[in-house]
Chain A
Amino acid sequence: MEPTSHLFPANVRAGLADPVLQRALGLARTGFPLRRQQAIERLPEFEDLREEGRRIKDHTLAHLDFYLELYEKNVVASGGTVHWARTAEEAREAVLGICRSVGARIVTKGKSMVAEEIALNEHLEKNGITPVETDLGEYIIQLRHEPPSHIIAPAIHLMKEQVADAFRAAHTELDPERALVDPRALCDEARTVLRPQFLAADVGITGANFLVAETGSSIIVTNEGNGDLTQTLPRVHIVVASLEKIVPTLEDAATLLRLLARSATGQEFSSYTTLSTGPRRPGDLDGPDQYHVVLLDNGRTALLGGEFQDMLRCLRCAACLNHCPVYAAVGGHAYGWVYPGPMGAVLTPALVGLHEAGHLPNASTFCGRCESVCPVKIPLPKMMRSWREREFAQRMSPVAYRSGVRLWAWVAMRPALYHPMVEMKARLLGWLGKTHGRFRSMPLAGGWTLGRDMPAPEGRSFHSLWAERRRARGPR
């Protein structure tokens, strides 16, 4: 999809003013963090597993070329094919080429963020092939012609009434008088409508949570079983995956799997973890005749060896989204591309450019929750800061901001000037704010106080209080 991340400020205003979105986000704010907390409290080893997960991913990235070549060798040995794709366009063409080679008309899809990243559905449609999303959340947003707003719960921005409206508009063959009042009825309707599509599809496309070098396997982790029907029933199974999904062994995959479900949904383990290795074997009664992996780079290898390499450890669990106060306030669509929340604020500028996505790393309070819940300890706030520094160094931030920061830096580097100025300001603001304890608006900070109040300072600066305490304690 075309990024609209440069519209972030306008998107945020729209999100904050959208009552349906705010109700839906209210459900997410409490649910995900609570369930994650409960799950990790039951696993005393969770912190140690995070460290192991980080170590496994770092080891793999340091030898990425070796593991990719080994992975390819094992895919081929089991009868599959690997298609290397430098860009989104190459990946789309590879998928289209496979679909055309078998005369595919209907393609079922399991949920894949990489497929969103390369805008696969639009490309297939343009070429006369019908993609059918089968994950319930993805199906809903496909009917509504909108992108996902969350990397594991794509329709989290909707309430059941919007889903019912989308189903009534799309499923015109069903009784218009039917009741669609609760999630159960909606879920059953989707199951009924999608079942014939699973059976009719010529090609099934899934993503991959992991690729295992040792065996040449791809692993998907799902709860609905749609991914399994997608990859088992059609004649051809295509996996679209980005190349940093690789892990050396099944043992390494097991460690990361222990982290993934708990971090994502707070489950002990997702309902279905499925390893696929090549096409069906001679004698097998089902399974695809062809197995293809489209291995996407799209700017990722350029992050190796630099300040953003740690981002390539990401498991796409969404814990950072679920614990982010900014995401919880504005939702995923505000971020304007495929990856929202803190991981998106770091990854999006890397993949679509800082010119497009410069707002995203600035949309953070640096509260640090994202890093503290990340199952592979990605230093997200530090990397957002790196993007801000680059933005500054490349003169991309607004002139007023830049001159403001320069002025502040000039003063802050001169303590003899800085200390009395801060002390004076603290006293003045403390005195002005004595009555209410807060300011509804501030000169030169109208934008900041638009959405919140500025608490009044106590009337003294930290430096002067510290100096006073030192004096009172006397020389040591």
Chain B
Amino acid sequence: MTTAREDILAGIRRALRRGPVPAEAVSGLVDRIAAHRRNLIPARAAGLDRAARIDLFVAMAEEVQTTVARVAATEAIPAEVARYLAAENLPAELVMAPDPGLAAIPWEGRPLLTIRRGRAEPGDAVSLTPCLAGIAETGTLMLVSGAQTPTTLNFLPDTHIVVVRAGQVVASYEDGWDLVRARSAGSEDAWPRTINLITGPSRTGDIEQRIQLGAHGPRRLHIVLVDEPKAGNGPPAG
């Protein structure tokens, strides 16, 4: 008795009137994958210099109800987070990704801000995470899972705050794939379990096509964009 796998593969070859893909064709297909050749990328973001790319990222993010606050330096992040929570009438309490970059932020200047580090638990109202990239084309955030960046932080709390460094803003999704590949090259558990491309807060139009924010994921998505350059992180400008 043949297995489902054998049957399906044989069925494909029968329908295409050929045997297995011949060796010389296989090498072409293997090359196609290894080359990661890019298809057409819209000009919208591809041709922009660094400042214009960041402006496009902010504009596209705001268009889908992400809020963005730009700060000049890492030192200004705690004050912005505290301001945002107060302005939104949220408790000064958050769960933060156990990420060294976030740990290096001088939170001690804001003793009234209660911070827990770890994954999200059901009662958590606000989360704070880093990201791997901001994608200018559609104002999209790229987040990858890992021991220092649990995925639940992106979905369980009502409010998600993301720190984006200006140098992390890239033009396209393809630039984002390259960042994941570079990050994973040569390391043990190379590829992340989850890559999240997040474009605005959770929403639904399932009832009478009227858009409601906060269907199951976060009702609010807030970006703290740090304008300082960060060496060795993100793609070359321009």
Most-contacted residue by chain B among A84, A278, A285 (CB, 10 A) = A285
Give Cα A183–Cα B15 distance, bound, in whole angstroms. Answer: 48
B201 at the interface (CB under 8 A from A): yes
Of residues 1 through 20 on chain B, the ones whose CB sits less than 8 Å from some CB of chain A are 3-5, 7-9, 11-13, 15-17, 20
Q: Do residues B198 and A232 form an inter-chain contact, with CB atoms below 8 A? A: no
Set of chain A residues within 8 Å of B7, measured between Cβ atoms: 86
Query: Which of A129-137, A381-389, A463-471 lies on the face that meets chain B?
Result: A129-137
Of residues 270 through 287 on chain A, the ones whose CB sits less than 8 Å from some CB of chain B are 270-287
Q: Do residues A281 and B33 form an inter-chain contact, with CB atoms below 8 A? A: no
Q: Do residues B11 and A301 form an inter-chain contact, with CB atoms below 8 A? A: yes
A251 at the interface (CB under 8 A from B): yes
Give Cα A278–Cα B98 distance, bound, in whole angstroms. Answer: 22
CB distance from A334 to the nearest CB of B (A): 20
Give Cα A283–Cα B149 distance, bound, in whole angstroms. Answer: 11
A155 at the interface (CB under 8 A from B): yes
B172 at the interface (CB under 8 A from A): yes
Q: Residue-by-residue, is B210-231 near A (CB-CB < 8 Å gives 1, otherwise 0)?
A: 1010111110000000000000
In chain A, what residue has the closest Cβ to B217? A225
Give Cα A388–Cα B29 distance, bound, in whole angstroms. Answer: 38
CB distance from B209 to the nearest CB of A (A): 5
Set of chain A residues within 8 Å of B172, measured between Cβ atoms: 254
Query: Which of B37-45, B47-55, B79-87, B104-112 lies on the face that meets chain A?
Result: B37-45
Q: Give the interface SS of chain B, mostly helix, strand, loop or mixed.
A: loop
Give Cα A281–Cα B20 distance, bound, in whole angstroms. Answer: 34
Of residues 154 through 189 on chain A, the ones whose CB sits less than 8 Å from some CB of chain B are 154-156, 158-160, 163, 183-184, 186-187
Set of chain B residues within 8 Å of A277, measured between Cβ atoms: 191-195
Decide yes or no: A136 and B206 within 8 Å by CB, A62-B16, A226-B216, A251-B39 being known contacts. yes
B154 at the interface (CB under 8 A from A): yes
The interface size bin for chain A is: 35 or more
CB distance from A9 to the nearest CB of B (A): 29
Q: Do residues B206 and A153 form an inter-chain contact, with CB atoms below 8 A? A: yes
Decide yes or no: A232 and B194 within 8 Å by CB, A69-B9, A156-B209, A251-B38 being known contacts. yes
B16 contact from A43, A44, A304, Cβ within 8 A: A304
CB distance from A427 to the nearest CB of B (A): 49
Q: Do residues B8 and A84 form an inter-chain contact, with CB atoms below 8 A? A: yes
Q: Do residues A135 and B122 form an inter-chain contact, with CB atoms below 8 A? A: no
Of residues 41 through 66 on chain A, the ones whose CB sits less than 8 Å from some CB of chain B are 43-45, 48-49, 52, 56, 62-66
Set of chain B residues within 8 Å of A214, measured between Cβ atoms: 33, 36
Q: Do residues A155 and B207 form an inter-chain contact, with CB atoms below 8 A? A: yes
Decide yes or no: A301 and B145 within 8 Å by CB, A229-B217, A258-B42 being known contacts. no
B161 at the interface (CB under 8 A from A): no
Q: Do residues B40 and A232 form an inter-chain contact, with CB atoms below 8 A? A: no
Q: Do residues B40 and A49 form an inter-chain contact, with CB atoms below 8 A? A: yes
In chain B, what residue has the closest Cβ to A224? B215
Q: Do residues B202 and A183 form an inter-chain contact, with CB atoms below 8 A? A: no
Decide yes or no: A268 and B209 within 8 Å by CB, A286-B150, A301-B12 being known contacts. no
Decide yes or no: A63 and B197 within 8 Å by CB, A84-B4, A251-B174, A255-B40 being known contacts. no
Give Cα A279–Cα B192 distance, bound, in whole angstroms. Answer: 10
CB distance from B120 to the nearest CB of A (A): 8
Q: Do residues B202 and A271 form an inter-chain contact, with CB atoms below 8 A? A: yes
Q: Do residues A191 and B198 form an inter-chain contact, with CB atoms below 8 A? A: no
Of residues 130 through 152 on chain B, the ones whose CB sits less than 8 Å from some CB of chain A are 138-140, 145-147, 150-152
Q: Do residues B12 and A304 form an inter-chain contact, with CB atoms below 8 A? A: yes
Q: Do residues B193 and A278 form an inter-chain contact, with CB atoms below 8 A? A: yes
List B residues at the A interface (Cβ < 8 Å).
3-5, 7-9, 11-13, 15-17, 20-21, 25-26, 29, 32-33, 36-40, 42-44, 60, 63-64, 98, 118-120, 122, 138-140, 145-147, 150-152, 154-156, 172-174, 177, 189, 191-210, 212, 214-218
21 contacts between A and B (CB under 8 A): A45-B40, A64-B16, A86-B8, A90-B4, A134-B216, A135-B206, A183-B210, A187-B207, A226-B215, A228-B196, A228-B217, A232-B151, A232-B155, A268-B64, A271-B198, A271-B217, A272-B196, A284-B193, A287-B151, A304-B16, A305-B15
List A residues at the B interface (Cβ < 8 Å).
24, 27-28, 31-32, 43-45, 48-49, 52, 56, 62-70, 78, 84-86, 90, 134-137, 140, 153-156, 158-160, 163, 183-184, 186-187, 190-191, 194-195, 198-199, 213-215, 217, 223-226, 228-229, 232-233, 243, 248-252, 254-255, 257-258, 265, 267-287, 295, 297, 301-306
